[in-house]
Structure 1
Amino acid sequence: MSDPLHHECGVAAIRLLKPLSYFADKYGTPMWAFNKLFLLMEKQHNRGQDGAGIGCIKLGMPLGEPYIFRSRDATKDALSNIFNSQQKRVRKLIRKGGISPSDADSFKNKFDFGGEILMGHLRYGTSGRFDEGSCHPYLRRTNWATRSLMLLGNFNMTNACELNQRLIERGQHPVFGTDTQTVLEEIGFHLDEAHTDLYRELRDAGIPGSDIPQKISERIDMVDIVSRASQGWDGGFTILGAVGNGDFFCLRDPHGIRPCHYVMTDEYIAIASERVPLMSVLEKESEEVQELAPGHILCVKNDGTVRLGTYTKPLEPTPCSFESIYFSRGNDPIIYRERKALGAALTEQVVASLDGGFDKAAITYIPNTAETAYYGLLEGLRLYRRQRVHKRLLEAYRNGTMTEDLIEEAILRRWPRAEKIAHKDIKMRTFITQEKSRHQLVSLVYDLTYGAVSNEDTLVAIDDSIVRGTTLKTSILHILGRARPRKIVIASTAPQIRYPDCYGIDMSELGKFIAFQAAVSLLKKRELHHILEATYQACKQQLTLPKEQRINCVKAIYEPFTDDEISEEITRLVTPDDAACPVQVIFQSIEALHKSIEGPCGDWYFSGNYPTPGGYTTVNTAYIAWYEGRTGRSYALPL
């Protein structure tokens, strides 16, 4: 993705189902779970660079002994900092004799993260502050283990303001501005309610006070608590949590917007946002990694009893298609096939852009994350060419016009060739602050393969997606233009991004989308200004309706134009004034996207069809904000 788009967070967890001594005996270290948690997080470091945090709950700790721990960091290299500091503590304890490497009990008693429940989070912030206090896990402490709660997640609630208001109406005094804290307090409220009811019931039944905590721990039902707490949540989420008594839970939103995978054995349960980290770290085959279904919860009681089922009604699955396009690691077997299919799906459009000049076409990719789609496009182009060669030779054979020159031309020439044109120099740092000089330096982040393309060639570069178009105009097209091709074609494996996301991706300001800018430009050129005003009034009217009745009025901005017309205007907008050659930008179709993705896929940022009412509120709010000249994330703006 040439535009610097940030996205969902990453989660990981290990819930041991056997004592630490078991892992010390079998795997040679009581730190097995701690080490695996680090590796699961390290394999997902691409999902968040704004901070990291880990949490631990120890089961069966004696009264008066600490049992819940966390460590968070929002500095550069946060993940390494956290784990390195904990490793140093372990080595220091071993040196001083506080811990014996062969004694699992000493690790549990002396090492903060020597517990049976370990959770980790990698943060990309879409709201709140960018400091340690905004890093997960969030913690709600009390003197009761059965009321203490630790929570982390990969999510965004579109109606956080409404959820906060619910807390206020109960008489609470929330002092926070993030949906994470809102969710923590909502679950905490229902946990408190259930706890109080059980306490009074047991007390009135004459159960001794010293026995009540154990009885509450046995009877507390986190599936029921989450079910009641989640009523009214609107968003995409994977949420992990644990109660101080050792009850662990993981849940996914009803539409399955945010990803969640797990491995379950008789030794442990491991959870991660992506499939491949679980496969690599735990040495599992693809079929051994399960996907948590939409609207489902995986709950483990403190005695190890596992429950897997629904906590709310599952709805139509609409998993975020950007996981396939860009976010998830490309070595996932399904993601790999999907990205190749997305590249191949661009074949006909790329062929049309070449004006028949197969022998004068060079195919490349930029950035590196588009490499898999590039292979798919090459396969698609070669298949296209092979089919036409076969047809031509067959016709010549039947007509008796087969010649050596024809065979030479058909088989040995006019095939698209693959070239590595741009090389990213990962050591380059954009430290210059002046805008003009900074753009020049950004262009030098990529180095060019000189001489691979001639001035007779069409250079086709495949990209994951084009969001704002800024990097294309200020950097990428300048870089590719230095190769002096006859023409540059930028092929996006994603369709035109027309609408904001409100479920976790940092794409919420409508005015920043190059597709929206292109549509507005065309409206003005064709003297259709009245559509802009009419859409503004329609969006305002939508916000007066019950949220379940709202629709996407912003579609009206695009309706007067074909996809090709908008693509042509995008091309004009992103082409630098001093472009070295003509430019053409082409996009995936939404239909081809769905054919390329295995299973259901959410497409609201392309189609404007949102899976939840909060999406329609967000898109209308985003347009109002743009029209009024306000900035900020549309799902966080006041209505």
Structure 2
Amino acid sequence: MCGISAVILADQSGSACPDLFESLGLLQHRGQDAAGIVTSGPKGRLSQCKGNGMVRDVFDEQQLSRLIGHLGIGHVRYPTAGSSSMSEAQPFYVNSPYGIVFAHNGNLTNAREIRTFLDKVAHRHINTDSDSELLLNILANNLQKTGKFRVNEEDIFTAIKDLYLQIKGGYACVAMVAGYGIIGFRDPHGIRPLVLGRRRSVAGWDYMFASESVALDALGFTDVRDVNPGEAVIITEKNVAHRQLIQCDYMAPCIFEYVYFARQDSIIDGISVYKSRLAMGEALADQVIKSFGNKMDIDVIIPVPDTSRVAALQLSRKLGVEYREGFNKNRYVGRTFIMPGQQTRRKNVRRKLNAMALEFHGKNVLLVDDSIVRGTTSKEIIQMARDVGAKNVYIASCAPAIRYPNVYGIDMPTRSELVAHNRTDEEIAAEIGADKVVYQSIEDLVKCVRRFNPNIETFDTSVFDGRYVTGDVDDEYLSHLEGERNDDCRSRASFDSESVGLHNNFYGH
């Protein structure tokens, strides 16, 4: 999962850098592996800073002051395909044609075919293992075919439409043509999110694309709307043009955005993440009642901070069971879900959370979490509860059991690493050390999200049911993907990253 943003200011003497920098901080939860910004001024000269690490690590005041220009794009990354080396940090750039800068959130399911095409047919050099670089070069190759000295809107729309016909997978993209404007487009199923807003300034209207509405809200952008699936938007100093380039049979946003990834104050595809999580808590309460029956002996409900807190509050209210904060969180440790290697994740759970004996000792505790993926975090948290005196420890998940990998941009691991794969609920409970595990049903989860926008009939729920909406994912593809994603590969990638310097930033034109 990644976070992307792009901005163009009406004032050509202004600086896009402050907005881009702030937007990446607001989207930091979507990626903590690398960050980057590229800006451009009226003459098309590019300024760049990117590197591995958190936003605060990659940029300092001196570097930000050198990012000159009134338009630009930004990116925060965690690795879903490729390595963690600094060469994978985005945005990416190609000088031909026209000077194109590109950032992407998602994952391509036909990356191998695209790489072969670019090598053998288009003869374009690919420097990294990132599928974002593949997308950039497909767009560049399609624009190259125009043979024109200068590009126009019609050329860009045609190039993106051709890209839609070539690319498969889930993706939201922003691009910048040096000295010309910014572009945003989204895959035909709308799997990955992308929103657009505008802000009144003295010189006219400023525009911004971002992965989530929270980035636009915080920076004063209004009239926020989603970029539609299959739609492209081109914004220049003189015009805003949008066109529906391709129609798909159905829209299918990733439901895991609402469960875990998105900030709760975001609105994605007309759905409040906060309200959907409240609804998840209510529905999960019904599952708890069904699972425990007349033998409910829960003394206290405690959330696993932070994503599950909203759902836990609503669950507590419906069950009439006391809600308490039992874990103190160190906010300076990153999301353990996206850390490489089981040992690293396990150690960081203990560094990230501290259980307070006051809320656990002698009690039957129901822990509420947004989801259970590998089970590593859950196992450690349950043990922490027992260590401080909990009598029985139950755990309830706002999401159904995750039994299949995600192929559209969330680095959920191989099937063998998923704790629910080929296990019953009882076997999962035994594996993670819980006295009982309760899962949300997939039908209830979809209802919880869809109720706030009934126009969306389908969501990507492939991690729960193995139904991949692009229709091109088979066992051969999953086996190949798992070869790139298992913990051994991630550990090697992490080592390679360290060898080039985790905070080795650079600046150039």
Q: TM-score range by the shorter chain?
A: 0.7 to 0.9
User: Paired residue for 1:419?
Assistant: 324
Distance in 2, Cα, partners of 1:55 & 1:630: 32
User: Paired residue for 1:67?
Assistant: 45
Distance in 2, Cα, partners of 1:365 & 1:339: 13
Distance in 2, Cα, partners of 1:158 & 1:362: 44
User: Paired residue for 2:460?
Assistant: 602
Equivalent position to 1:305, from 216, 230, 239: 239
Instruction: Quickly say closer, same or farther: Cα 1:352–1:361, change in 2 above 3 A.
Output: farther
1:145-171 deviation line (CA, Å, top 9, x unaligned): x62211111121111110011123315
User: Paired residue for 1:128?
Assistant: 82
User: Paired residue for 2:479?
Assistant: 621
Distance in 2, Cα, partners of 1:238 & 1:424: 32
Distance in 2, Cα, partners of 1:152 & 1:610: 24
Instruction: Quickly say closer, same or farther: Cα 1:484–1:332, change in 2 above 3 A.
Output: same
Matches within 5 A, 1:5-404: 8-16=1-9, 18-21=10-13, 30-31=14-15, 33-59=16-42, 61=43, 67-74=45-52, 76-87=53-64, 90=65, 112-142=66-96, 147-170=98-121, 172=123, 174-176=125-127, 177-194=129-146, 196=147, 198=148, 213=149, 216-218=150-152, 221-265=155-199, 266-282=204-220, 284=222, 288-301=223-236, 303-332=237-266, 334-354=272-292, 356=294, 361-382=299-320
Note if contact 1:137-1:151 (Cα within 8 Å) is conserved in structure 2.
Answer: yes
Instruction: Quickly say closer, same or farther: Cα 1:355–1:280, change in 2 above 3 A.
Output: same
Note if contact 1:610-1:616 (Cα within 8 Å) is conserved in structure 2.
Answer: no
Number of residue-to-residue matches in the alignment = 469
Instruction: Quickly say closer, same or farther: Cα 1:471–1:168, change in 2 above 3 A.
Output: same
Instruction: Quickly say closer, same or farther: Cα 1:497–1:135, change in 2 above 3 A.
Output: same
Q: CA RMSD in A?
A: 3.0
Distance in 2, Cα, partners of 1:77 & 1:596: 33
Deviation at 1:442, TM superposition (A): 4.5
Distance in 2, Cα, partners of 1:283 & 1:184: 27
User: Paired residue for 2:338?
Assistant: none
Distance in 2, Cα, partners of 1:428 & 1:261: 28
1:505-527 deviation line (CA, Å, top 9, x unaligned): 11141110111142xxxxxxxxx
User: Paired residue for 2:417?
Assistant: 512
Deviation at 1:570, TM superposition (A): 0.9
Deviation at 1:445, TM superposition (A): 4.2
Note if contact 2:373-2:418 (Cα within 8 Å) is conserved in structure 1.
Answer: yes
Richer in helix (by share): 1
Note if contact 2:126-2:133 (Cα within 8 Å) is conserved in structure 1.
Answer: no
Deviation at 1:595, TM superposition (A): 0.9
Q: Show structure 1 runs of 5+ residues with no match.
A: 1-7, 22-29, 91-111, 199-212, 383-415, 430-434, 519-565, 576-581, 634-639
1:450-484 deviation line (CA, Å, top 9, x unaligned): 243453x42111001001112222x1111111343
Instruction: Quickly say closer, same or farther: Cα 1:491–1:619, change in 2 above 3 A.
Output: farther
Instruction: Quickly say closer, same or farther: Cα 1:316–1:440, change in 2 above 3 A.
Output: closer
With structure 1 as the length reference, what TM-score do the two structures score? 0.68
Distance in 2, Cα, partners of 1:377 & 1:163: 46
Structure 1 counterpart SS, 2:275: helix
Deviation at 1:350, TM superposition (A): 1.9
Q: Report percent identity of matched pairs.
A: 26
Note if contact 1:10-1:123 (Cα within 8 Å) is conserved in structure 2.
Answer: yes
Deviation at 1:283, TM superposition (A): 5.6
Matches within 5 A, 1:516-555: 516-518=421-423
Q: Is 1:446 aligned to 2:356, yes or no?
A: no
Larger relative CO (CA 8 A, sep 6+): 1 or 2? 2
Structure 2 counterpart SS, 1:264: strand
Deviation at 1:235, TM superposition (A): 0.8
Note if contact 1:509-1:632 (Cα within 8 Å) is conserved in structure 2.
Answer: no
Distance in 2, Cα, partners of 1:438 & 1:314: 39
Note if contact 1:340-1:373 (Cα within 8 Å) is conserved in structure 2.
Answer: yes
Q: Which moved more, 1:480-489 or 1:597-606?
A: 480-489
Instruction: Quickly say closer, same or farther: Cα 1:113–1:454, change in 2 above 3 A.
Output: closer
Distance in 2, Cα, partners of 1:313 & 1:462: 39
Equivalent position to 1:494, from 385, 392, 399: 399
Instruction: Quickly say closer, same or farther: Cα 1:426–1:14, change in 2 above 3 A.
Output: closer
1:90-136 deviation line (CA, Å, top 9, x unaligned): 4xxxxxxxxxxxxxxxxxxxxx5332311100111122232332111
Richer in strand (by share): 2
Deviation at 1:56, TM superposition (A): 1.4
Distance in 1, Cα, partners of 2:476 & 2:440: 25
Q: Give the structure with higher Rg (CA).
A: 1
Instruction: Quickly say closer, same or farther: Cα 1:241–1:589, change in 2 above 3 A.
Output: same
What letter is aligned with 1:461?
Answer: L
What letter is aligned with 1:380?
Answer: K
